[in-house]
Amino acid sequence: MGNQPRDLVRESLGLNERLLTEDENKKDPRALRALASLQPTPEQIASLELASSVGPNFLGRTASLTRGESFGWYHRKSNGFTAQDLLLPSADTRDNYRSHDHLTDLSQAELVYMIGHHLQWMDLRGDELLSYSKDPLFLVVHALRRYHEKQGNVTIQFLDRRKAKTVTGEPVAFYNALDLYTIFEVPRSSHWGQSNMVRLHPRKFTQEFLTHGPVLYDDDVFKQARIEDLIQDGLYDIFPEFHAPADHKRAGLYTLQVVMRRVGFPARAARNGEVYPPIYSYVECPTTFPITIELLEKVRRVTLHFHKVVGGQVGVEPPLHAFICFLTFQKRKSAEPSFMEWIRRRYTAQDVLELYTDTNGKPLAGFTTVADNLPGYKQYLDLIRDCIAVFSLPALPDNHVETGHVFQGTMSQSYAYEEVDNKWQREDVKSEYWCPTMNALRLDSSRRRRKAKAEAKKTLTGAQPATSASLVPASGSPEPLGDADNDVEEAEESSAPRLVEDAEDEGDSIFEVLRRSRQQHENALQDTRSPRQNLGNHDNESEPVTNSAGAFRPLQGASDAAMAPF
């Protein structure tokens, strides 16, 4: 086919028609067909131009440069190619693909398909996008997860976006991922299923930036740093929560970020009547962590790995951006004297201006725009404000805190990303390590319990089946019937927590257990409505009967086996 750009949508519909049709996560491939002939509109192109002009000067990127030592898909290197002076998306590393010359050369269908898959970490062979981040916490957490998964040569790289060029020598356009997500209405496409939409929740990439096509990068300041070198020189001393024992694993990428935010930016206590108190917060964090001289020395030793100049030389300091980034994992006290004196002695006013001003010396557009679930970036901005105060430079504008929105037809509903973390990840986010050994022991214990229950169930197979026995107590007078419909509903509620456990223990599907339980309750309901019709037929049988709540109870003298759960 040659090294030419390919229509990703047409290829996927042609070669993988059955997969797209049958996969429940791809609800409607026809949704992309309708966009396949449409190019980006003039309004979308104008929005792209505006989106490329905002954001910080410095971004970071984490990558695995080689395959890991062990076999497995999770030991692979990063999609595409990453080097100090050259970045290639996946499409430009394969014989039968090549990136289009411009992002707007792709159809709307290709853009929705490619952006959506890229943001879900579903590496397409023809992916033409590269990712970056402005959040230091994301960079380190991402690198540590790759390192713990034994991916090869894991690095963190800081880039000055002003020095990035295309293959034709033009400046590279950097887009906030949320801008592309919104401009091309990625979540509105009915192509995505429910599980796709969970992975496409915007709170997961509020810190992310994207570029299109190859990137040439020539920088005399920054260099890639290996995560092993950072660990060896004291990364865990800066923020001990980063450390995980060798035989332990941590949670997923976004969940792990929330864990670290909870530790570094612990929220206030719950207020009276508050259902979901915050689990982390920058503004409402009652705890501040001091910036000591010892901490500054540790950060300097670690961040010198990002400088091209040999760190042992006298007077060499790490790049100011990298130095500040590694102080943002915890809430810091404003205007800490030790920090401000350190900056005064080791950096210049021009070093600070490089962080937040454009070529005209004005604050960068969108530099102080920050999502509410990025407390680390808020801390980064406040540390820059401290640096500005040291040299009496032009002040930064106030932070513009972004919240999320969901589309509902032509309307949108606002919400806070931080609140979604509170509701979705309050219970399942734990700061403890996940240990494979302990998990194996729990699995063995579960198997033993299931085996014991299965053997107990076999002992019941030879017993006489229970029927509708006398609902009359020993005194001979029937029990009050009450409201039978409500009784059965209460019984269903009381037995609901047991159904899932029974299904797991017995190997049945939950639907089979529910059907069996419902049939039992219907039989009980029929018996409670006409108890006297069966009195003459089953006087001498021993069986379970129902109480006034509709739940089963044994007759007096029934054996323990008859009391075993169904």
Give yes or no: residues 332 and 363 share one domain: yes
Total structural domains within the chain: 3
- Range among 195-199, 347-351, 545-549 rated most confident: 347-351
Give yes or no: residues 500 and 367 share one domain: no
- What is the b/e burial string over 262-301, where b = at least 16 CB atoms within 10 angstroms of the residue's CB? bbbbbbeeeeeeeeeebbbbbeebeeebebeeebbebbbb
With beta carbons less than 8 A apart as the criterion, state whether 550 and 520 touch: no
Give yes or no: residues 335 and 374 share one domain: yes
Q: What is the pLDDT of residue 314?
A: 62
pLDDT > 90 fraction of the chain, expressed in percent and rounded: 42
> Who has greater pLDDT, 263 or 484?
263
Q: What is the pLDDT of residues 363-383, one digit of tens each?
A: 999 999 999 999 999 999 999
Give yes or no: residues 164 and 267 share one domain: no
Start-to-end C-alpha separation, the chain: 62
Which has the minimum average pLDDT: 257-266, 281-290, 497-506, 546-555? 546-555
DSSP string, 209-226: EEEES-EEE--SSB--EE
Q: What is the pLDDT of residue 335?
A: 94
Whether 451 is in a domain gets the answer: no
Q: Identify the domain boundary among 222, 252, 280.
A: 222
Give yes or no: residues 396 and 531 share one domain: no
Q: Identify the domain boundary among 190, 222, 254.
A: 222
With beta carbons less than 8 A apart as the criterion, state whether 177 and 209 touch: yes
Q: What is the pLDDT of residue 14?
A: 38
Greatest alpha-carbon span in the chain:
104
Looking at every residue in the chain, the average pLDDT score rounds to 76
For residue 520, pLDDT over 90 is answered with: no
For residue 151, pLDDT over 70 is answered with: yes
Whether 458 is in a domain gets the answer: no
Whether 99 is in a domain gets the answer: yes
**Amino acid at residue number 481:** L
**In angstroms, rounded to a whole number, what is the distance separating the alpha carbons of residues 428 and 423?**
10
Give yes or no: residues 81 and 174 share one domain: yes
Whether 442 is in a domain gets the answer: no
Q: What is the pLDDT of residue 209?
A: 98
> Who has greater pLDDT, 420 or 183?
183
Give yes or no: residues 188 and 284 share one domain: no
**In angstroms, rounded to a whole number, what is the distance separating the alpha carbons of residues 101 and 160?**
23
In DSSP terms, which residues pair with 66 in a beta bridge? 152
**In angstroms, rounded to a whole number, what is the distance separating the alpha carbons of residues 133 and 176?**
9
**In angstroms, rounded to a whole number, what is the distance separating the alpha carbons of residues 346 and 377?**
23
- For residue 414 the two structure tokens come to 């606002």
For residue 498, pLDDT over 70 is answered with: no
Burial of 302 (0-12, 13-18, 19+ CB in 10 A): buried
Whether 447 is in a domain gets the answer: no
Q: What is the pLDDT of residue 148?
A: 84
Give yes or no: residues 491 and 403 share one domain: no
Q: Give the length of the chain.
A: 566
Q: What is the pLDDT of residues 192-219, one digit of tens each?
A: 777 788 888 889 999 999 999 999 999 8
Q: Which domain holds residue 168?
A: 8-222
Q: Which residues contact 109 (CB under 8 A, 6 or more apart)?
A: 9, 32, 33, 34, 35, 36, 38
Give yes or no: residues 186 and 274 share one domain: no
Give yes or no: residues 304 and 363 share one domain: yes
**Amino acid at residue number 131:** S
pLDDT > 70 fraction of the chain, expressed in percent and rounded: 65
For residue 294, pLDDT over 50 is answered with: yes
Q: What is the pLDDT of residues 32-75, one digit of tens each?
A: 666 777 889 999 999 999 999 999 999 999 998 776 665 444 44
For residue 541, pLDDT over 60 is answered with: no
Q: Identify the domain boundary among 434, 449, 478.
A: 434
Which has the minimum average pLDDT: 194-203, 209-218, 224-233, 384-393? 194-203
Q: What is the pLDDT of residues 77-116, one digit of tens each?
A: 677 888 889 999 998 888 888 899 999 999 888 898 899 9
Confidence of residue 272 (pLDDT cuts 50, 70, 90): confident
Identify the three-state secondary structure at position 335.
Answer: coil
With beta carbons less than 8 A apart as the criterion, state whether 371 and 203 touch: yes
Give yes or no: residues 417 and 491 share one domain: no
Q: What is the pLDDT of residue 487?
A: 39
Which has the minimum average pLDDT: 118-132, 171-185, 543-557? 543-557
Whether 324 is in a domain gets the answer: yes
Whether 39 is in a domain gets the answer: yes
Give yes or no: residues 15 and 114 share one domain: yes
